[in-house]
Amino acid sequence: MECKKMAALVLAGAMAVTTMTGCGSAGGSDKYPSKDISVIIPKAAGGGTDTAARGLIQYMKENLEGANFVATNKPDGGGVTGMVETSAAKADGYTLGMVTVELAMFPWQDKCQVTPEDYAAICAPIAAPAALIVPADAPYDSVDDFVAYCKENPGKVQVGNSGMGAIWHVAAVSFEKEFDVELKHIPYPNGSADIAAALTGGHIDATIADPSSYKSQVDAGEMKILGIMSEERSSIYPDVPTFKEMGHDMVIRAWASLVAPKDTPEEILTQLRDAAKTTCESDEFKEYFEKQGIDPQCIIGDDCQKMMEDDYAMYEDLLKDIETE
Amino acid sequence: MGNMKKANYIISVIMLLIGVGIVALASSLKIKLGEGDPGAGFWPMMLGVLIIVFSVCLLFSTIKNKEKLEAKAFTIATPANIRVYILFGIIILFCLILYFLGFYVGALLFIPAVMYLLEVRSVKKIVLTTVITLAAIYVLFGMLLNITLPAPIFMR
Amino acid sequence: MSDILTALGNVFTIGNLAGLIFGTGAGILIGAMPGLSVNMGIALLFPLTFAFQGVGGILMLLGIYCGAIYGGSISAILLKTPGTPASVATTLDGYPMATKLKQPGRALGLSTFGSTFGGVFSAICLIIFSPMLASVALKFSKPEYFALAVFGLSIITSVSSGSILKGLLGGFIGLFIATIGIDNLSGSVRFSFGSTYLLGGISFVPILIGLFAFSQVLQSVEDCYKEKYVKTDVKLTRVFPTWEDLKRVFITLLRSSIIGTFIGCVPGTGGDIASFVSYDQAKRWSKYKDNFGNGEPEGIVAPEAGNNSVSGGAMIPMLTLGIPGDGATAIMLGALMVQGMQPGPLLFKEQASSVYAIFIGLLLANIVMGLMGFSLIRVFVKVVNIPKEILIPIIFTLTFVGAYAYNNSMNDVFVMVFCGFLGYFMNKTEFSMSAIVIGIILGSLAETNFRGALTMSDGKFSIFLTHPICAVFLALAAISLLSPVLGPAVRKLLGKDKAKQETEA
């Protein structure tokens, strides 16, 4: 008897919960957005991609009437799971996701099947360029000096990266190819903090990485940036020359883009892109990023899609030569 | 009844197999000693070999201390154990429900089921425990920390 | 001097203190919940800091940071469920004291005292020795990191009292689990069997929850079968440790705090390794060696003082060099920058009053944490008084929530359940689960730095001997690893010698 009563109670409760939660999603109307928009972040909470994503949606909320973004971190599988999940989500504008430059690299390394073509880009708030960073007391003051030094000491100059096959290692390898030098690649899988410690402690000679992670050391005069691999000079380090200016066409950037699944309706995409554009151009947004040493970008819609696909094409060549067995 | 001797035999055989498996898998990875990084296979290969060595050690030490270990018994088939095995079943079922119907529905069935298994028959106790636990989880995770728990499959 | 006064004025406002107290409370809660990590707590509450002007937000984050490291010990002691990886070692003696000796209040009192002492000690070190410690920490390169990891791993022999062979096997399995996924050094994929989930490796939090919490609850289900319900009513006479206890643990407290502060200021290492090393060293030097694992007070304060003193240590490289000492301080670095401070060599010159505000804040956060801890012990202990048949389903539900919330991954939940089932049988066969977890936690630190060091030396193994700090650590680790094996043999030999001498005499 009691058992039956209990079962009935539990069942009633279960039904109540289902209908309650069901209501939230069923109450559809034609106006977008009419419910929470979930944003899948394929990296752990607190990292660079996460900070950028949360910053972007926090300010974007104000420019998209009625929108409420809910961020979910899915760092499984080195970020692949989260990116795949975004591409496979229902293309109704209620599931967006961040994708990173790894999306342009992983397919060539047999680590995932999705490519930039599986998404519709909304905007890229960050695109950190690779920069050649050395300790301030190093005997070279320009990229040419550094190259000359490398030629004198082939295979001896130790360059820190964030792991073989990861973007900054690829940047260092393309540097080797461009200047015909031989470097010794030292991996620091935990990333910039460990590289900064190793550079300051004099354990390595240089690193090719995102300069924003080394801002405080550069400002304090402990490290110097010799060159930057971007299209234009950085707004944070306007004095640092680009490799392009020096006649070397090298553009390597670690971007993170907010994207929607491929077949998302055009009018929803336009709405989102407009909101993102207003956000990226606002001063508070820029200030938020600049305060953290990040150079905010405003790459919207088709430009963003083009950047993702260009990089995807570029890495095919670059990664061919890097063996990752 | 299980005893430590039998258990150790089983463990050393399983470990031996795992060790051999690791060595076999690691041998397909790059191992290159003498110049720079010894390769992705070196460390797992070393671990595989160590596991093989120590499982053989465990085997011999078990043979040597046979009597002492035989005396060390533990239970694996008493009614108490069987209750745990029933719980295994409930948990696996819960995992499936969690996957298809989401967390809140699943937990609404799971908590009463576990309590029933533990011989709680007071409906009031069961309902209160279930409701309070879920409400607390909803407030802490759903509202304060903004963590979404698994939703039913038709809502994803 | 005027900077200090300005800083005091900045810190002691009602809003800021409220932020600090809220942060500490939230931190304790987050720490006590397995699956919610320190880093996650800080990252999730980070947006709240914008609501504060000036140092208030930073004070809140400091509160979360300290509170969460401490909070992990509460569930470790009462439920044998480490809330954070850093409190794995606390279960070893905390849980026996709370259950076998039926003194949960004493255990919590000791852990609270240890945590507070460690935290305050490290905050003082931060204030006095910052520049000096920072320069020592920078001496650490890959060989030293490798040695430190091995030093941490050497605790395996001292935690696997049942069977050292099985402990070592467990440790190797843990180290192996850590190799699954993309190898960060070469970029190649290892042991993933084509699965996307395994590509990124198995995260250790679900394994930790499964092996400890989940299997422990399964065990209690077995234990409470047909057990007539006895109303347990633990009454506490005192929450503050007794004078005898304090005298007994004082040297351990000091030693662990020094170890923790130093490990904290080495970038890239954190509370987990500090607590392992502290526990191992406490056992090595203790007069009550044999009591470890049975509720030894030193075994509780050592890991707790060790992991909490990491907080002050980790702030050292962050403030002086702009290099975060662990994941939590990395997020805090971002928070400081949003508030317009730029940690690094210039901070002390240009924004001295902010630096002092952080110093005072950290000191205060630890004190608030201690006060909160001591006043809440009576509440925490109530958990023990909850009848098993109610507590068990609740903990089960929480393990599912924790395993899922860590990565929002259903696969993690399945891993957790699988490890829980496995752990239930391992418990019976004296297979040390701590050893596996320690292996997983320290695995990648050990491997990447081992191989990284060889990359630097062009493959010459001599690099591990020519670096003095590295060589010393490795030697200590070797002694630590081998002593339980060789110790009895040596003692036997010495004992026989004595016996011989006696017969000869």
Q: What is the mean pLDDT of chain C?
A: 85
ipTM: 0.94
- Ranked by mean pLDDT, the top range of B6-20, B57-71, C178-192, C392-406 is B6-20
- Of chain C, the percentage scoring pLDDT greater than 70 comes to 92
| Closest Cβ opposite residue C182 in set A78, A81, A325 | A78
Within a domain: residue A273?
A: yes
| SS3 labels along C287-343 | CCHHHCCCCCHHHHHHHHHHHHCHHHHHHHHHHHHCCCCCHHHHHHHHHHHHCCCCC
Instruction: Tell me the two tokens of residue C373.
Output: 């801890």
pLDDT at C255: 95
- Cα B17 from chain centre: 19
- Of chain B, the percentage scoring pLDDT greater than 70 comes to 98
Within a domain: residue A51?
A: yes
pLDDT at A306: 94
Number of domains in chain A: 2
Q: Which residues in B lie closer than 8 A to residue A5 (C-beta atoms)?
A: 123
Residues with Cβ within 8 Å of residue B132, at least 6 apart in sequence: none
Instruction: Say if CB B55 and CB C169 are below 8 A apart.
Output: yes
Instruction: Say if CB A77 and CB C198 are below 8 A apart.
Output: yes
In Å, what is the CA distance from C297 to each residue of A293, C28, C72, C91, C108?
46, 22, 17, 12, 10
| Closest Cβ opposite residue A78 in set C46, C200, C412 | C200
pLDDT average, residue stretch A229-234: 90
Q: C42: nearest CA in chain B?
A: B145
A91 and A77 share a domain? yes
Would you tell me how many other CB atoms lie within 10 Å of the CB of residue A140?
Answer: 18
Residue A29's pLDDT band (boundaries 50, 70, 90)?
A: very low
Which parts of chain A are beta strand (E)?
Answer: 37-41, 69-73, 95-100, 119-135, 158-161, 184-187, 206-209, 223-229, 253-261, 299-300
A105 and A146 share a domain? no
**Over 90: is that where the pLDDT of C42 sits?**
no
Q: For residues A314 and C337, what is the distance between their CA atoms, to the nearest angstrom?
A: 34
- Of chain C, the percentage scoring pLDDT greater than 90 comes to 37
Query: Does C451 contact B33 at a Cβ distance shorter than 8 Å?
Result: no
Residue A310's pLDDT band (boundaries 50, 70, 90)?
A: very high
pLDDT average, residue stretch C97-125: 93
Look at A177-181, C118-122, C354-358, C418-422 and tell me which has the smallest mean pLDDT: C354-358
Q: For residues B122 and A11, what is the distance between their CA atoms, to the nearest angstrom?
A: 17
pLDDT at A13: 47
pLDDT at A295: 84
**Over 60: is that where the pLDDT of A325 sits?**
no
**Over 60: is that where the pLDDT of C499 sits?**
no
Q: For residues C456 and C453, what is the distance between their CA atoms, to the nearest angstrom?
A: 5
pLDDT at A47: 74
Q: Which residues in C lie closer than 8 A to residue A109 (C-beta atoms)?
A: 187
Query: Does A325 contact B123 at a Cβ distance shorter than 8 Å?
Result: no
Query: Does C389 contact B119 at a Cβ distance shorter than 8 Å?
Result: yes
**Over 80: is that where the pLDDT of B104 sits?**
yes
Q: Which residues in B lie closer than 8 A to residue C191 (C-beta atoms)?
A: 25, 44
A39 and A120 share a domain? yes
Residue A2's pLDDT band (boundaries 50, 70, 90)?
A: very low
Q: Give the count of alpha carbons within 13 A of A154, CB side only.
A: 5
Q: Is A282 on the interface with C (CB under 8 A)?
A: no
Look at residues A229, A263, A285 and tell me which one is the last residue of a structural domain: A229
- How does strand A95-100 pair with strand C181-182? unpaired
pLDDT at C189: 84
Q: By residue range, what is the domain housing residue A153? A: 128-229
Angle between helices A266-281 and A48-60 in degrees, nearest 10: 100
Q: Which residues in A lie closer than 8 A to residue B141 (C-beta atoms)?
A: none
A192 and A217 share a domain? yes
A138 and A225 share a domain? yes
Instruction: Say if CB C256 and CB C299 are below 8 A apart.
Output: no
Instruction: Tell me the two tokens of residue A178.
Output: 């461009």
Q: Which residue ranges make up each domain of chain B? A: 2-74, 79-155
Look at A179-188, B93-102, C75-84, C152-161 and tell me which has the smallest mean pLDDT: C152-161
Q: What is the mean pLDDT of chain B?
A: 89
pLDDT at C232: 62
Q: Which residues in A lie closer than 8 A to residue C334 (C-beta atoms)?
A: 51, 292
Nearest-CA neighbor of A248 among A195, A179, A189, A300?
Answer: A179
**Over 80: is that where the pLDDT of C324 sits?**
no
Q: For residues C323 and C143, what is the distance between their CA atoms, to the nearest angstrom?
A: 20
**Over 90: is that where the pLDDT of C406 sits?**
no
pLDDT at C194: 81
More reliable by pLDDT, C24 or B34: C24
**Over 80: is that where the pLDDT of C40 sits?**
no
pLDDT at C282: 92
Interface A–C counts its CB contacts (< 8 A) at 157
Q: What is the CATH number of the domain that holds A200?
A: 3.40.190.10
Nearest-CA neighbor of C308 among C49, C24, C45?
Answer: C24
pLDDT average, residue stretch C24-46: 82
Residue A79's pLDDT band (boundaries 50, 70, 90)?
A: confident
A194 and A271 share a domain? no
More reliable by pLDDT, C52 or C289: C289
Q: For residues A75 and A95, what is the distance between their CA atoms, to the nearest angstrom?
A: 17
Instruction: Say if CB C256 and CB C273 are below 8 A apart.
Output: no
Number of domains in chain C: 1
pLDDT average, residue stretch A166-178: 91
**Over 70: is that where the pLDDT of C491 sits?**
no
Within a domain: residue A12?
A: no
Within a domain: residue A121?
A: yes
Look at A65-69, B91-95, C182-186, C298-302 and tell me which has the smallest mean pLDDT: C182-186
Residue A241's pLDDT band (boundaries 50, 70, 90)?
A: very high
- Of chain A, the percentage scoring pLDDT greater than 70 comes to 90
A143 and A215 share a domain? yes
pLDDT at A6: 47
pLDDT average, residue stretch C307-319: 90
Q: Is C505 on the interface with B (CB under 8 A)?
A: no
Residue A17's pLDDT band (boundaries 50, 70, 90)?
A: very low
Within a domain: residue A109?
A: yes
pLDDT at C502: 45
Nearest-CA neighbor of C442 among C252, C270, C184?
Answer: C270
pLDDT at C330: 77
Q: B121: nearest CA in chain A?
A: A2
pLDDT at A166: 85
Q: For residues A44 and C487, what is the distance between their CA atoms, to the nearest angstrom?
A: 44
Query: Does A21 contact B151 at a Cβ distance shorter than 8 Å?
Result: yes
Q: Is A324 on the interface with B (CB under 8 A)?
A: no
A182 and A89 share a domain? no
Which parts of B13-83 are beta strand (E)?
Answer: 73-74
pLDDT at C489: 67
Look at residues A194, A229, A264 and tell me which one is the last residue of a structural domain: A229
Nearest-CA neighbor of A71 among A56, A84, A81?
Answer: A56
pLDDT at A145: 94
Residue owning tokens 């205060």: C364
Provide the shortest C-alpha distance from residue B28 to chain C (in Å).
Answer: 10
Q: For residues C186 and A233, what is the distance between their CA atoms, to the nearest angstrom?
A: 32
pLDDT at C484: 66
pLDDT at A21: 41
Provide the shortest C-alpha distance from residue A246 to chain C (in Å).
Answer: 31
pLDDT at C94: 94
**Over 70: is that where the pLDDT of A23 sits?**
no
Q: Which residues in B lie closer than 8 A to residue A25 (C-beta atoms)?
A: 155
- What is the tens place of the pLDDT at every residue in B107-127? 999 999 999 999 889 999 999
H helical segments located in C33-55? 38-45
Residues with Cβ within 8 Å of residue A153, at least 6 apart in sequence: none
- What is the tens place of the pLDDT at every residue in C196-217? 788 878 888 889 889 988 998 8
pLDDT at A182: 93
Q: Which residues in B lie closer than 8 A to residue A185 (C-beta atoms)?
A: none
In Å, what is the CA distance from C124 to each residue of A127, C281, C316, C358?
41, 23, 11, 12
**Mutation site, B147, B148, B149, B156, interface C, largest C CB count within 10 A:** B147
Instruction: Say if CB A134 and CB A85 are below 8 A apart.
Output: no
| Closest Cβ opposite residue A14 in set B108, B121, B148 | B108
What part of C 298-327 touches B (C-beta under 8 Å)? Answer: none
Q: To which H or E segment does residue B93 belong? A: helix B79-101
Instruction: Say if CB A42 and CB A82 are below 8 A apart.
Output: yes
Burial of C243: CB neighbours in 10 Å, binned 0-12, 13-18, 19+: exposed
Nearest-CA neighbor of C109 among C209, C249, C232?
Answer: C249
Q: Which residues in A lie closer than 8 A to residue C196 (C-beta atoms)?
A: 76-77, 80-81, 84, 112
Nearest-CA neighbor of C58 among C372, C370, C354?
Answer: C354
- Of chain B, the percentage scoring pLDDT greater than 90 comes to 60
Provide the shortest C-alpha distance from residue B123 to chain A (in Å).
Answer: 6
Q: For residues C340 and B67, what is the distance between their CA atoms, to the nearest angstrom?
A: 70
- Residue A33 preceded by cis peptide, ω within 30: yes
Q: A158: nearest CA in chain C?
A: C456
Instruction: Tell me the two tokens of residue C96.
Output: 């026996």
